[in-house]
Amino acid sequence: MMPSPHGLDSNGLDSSALARLADELVERGWFVGEHFIDAELCRALHAELQQLATSHALTDAGIGRGDRHRLRRDIRGDAITWLNRESQAQRDYLTLMAELQRQINQALYLGLFEFEAHFAYYPPGAFYKTHYDSFQGRANRIVSTVLYLNPDWPQEGGGEMAIYAPDDETCELARIRPEAGTFVCFLSDRVPHAVLPTRYPRASIAGWFRRNASLGGLVDPAR
Ligand SMILES: O=C(O)CCC(=O)C(=O)O
Ligand SMILES: [Fe+2]
């Protein structure tokens, strides 16, 4: 595809950022792109999440999926709702993620076949302790993504995502400010990460590219 003069190809993703994303996923397992997603789309998604929060449409998030789902406020303090394509902003974001899925599959042969995502709202004081998004051998979440939605995140706002060395959660490699437009993606079973306690309401969309719903006879429920 020919890049347009402003560097976005016709699918709305920056082609040089995409090339770096593929390289970094392979070389170190994680990628951070500032201004990766268009500011206007971030504004629309943020407005939608604020509306959902004020109308009490979010549910306290838990850990573990399927039958093993538990609320653990000592581990994670966000409230969520799954994207359902209801708004144009959601459809636009999911279209971009479908294009990203296509590009990652083309570059890395990961066999990603679907994407699930939820809005997440961390009230002041909330955090998410260090974790992996999936476990080796049981992984049907293959690539994790996070898009941040707060414009002008304050210097002293906390709420950074901490990334730790693949397979060594004692070694911190990066702290990412949750600033609107910043997009992070990483290998779900390799990269330990955490959300440090936030001082301000923190808005994001967390999403996962998945492979098959069942691996070796082990059913891994989507949610
Ligand atoms: O919001 C973030 O920075 C990360 C969220 C996260 O790790 C998750 O939802 O699994
Ligand atoms: Fe996570």
Q: Which of the ligands is closest to the CA of residue 162?
A: 1
Task: Please give the span between the terminal C-alpha atoms of the chain, in angstroms, as a whole number.
Answer: 35
- Asked if the structure places residue 2 within a domain, the reply is no
Tell me which ligand sits closest to the C-alpha of residue 118.
1
Q: Per-residue pLDDT tens for 125-156?
A: 999 999 999 977 666 899 999 999 999 999 99
Residue 215 covered by a domain: no
Q: How do residues 12-67 score in pLDDT, each as one tens digit? A: 898 999 999 999 999 999 999 999 999 999 999 999 999 999 999 999 998 887 78
For ligand 1, whether the C-beta of 89 sits within 6 Å is no
Using alpha carbons, list the distances in angstroms from residue 58 to 54, 88, 123, 197, 220. 9, 19, 12, 20, 24
Do the domain assignments include residue 41? yes
Looking at the structure of the chain, the number of domains it has is 1
**Residue 199 falls within a domain, yes or no?**
yes
Which CATH number characterizes residue 103's domain?
2.60.120.620
Q: What is the residue range of 176's domain?
A: 15-61+75-210
Does ipTM surpass 0.90 in this model?
A: yes
Instruction: State whether the beta carbon of 149 lies less than 6 angstroms from ligand 1.
Output: no
Which of 65, 81, 160, 195 best tests ligand 1's pocket when mutated (most atoms within 8 Å of CB)? 195
- Whether 149 is covered by a domain: the verdict is yes
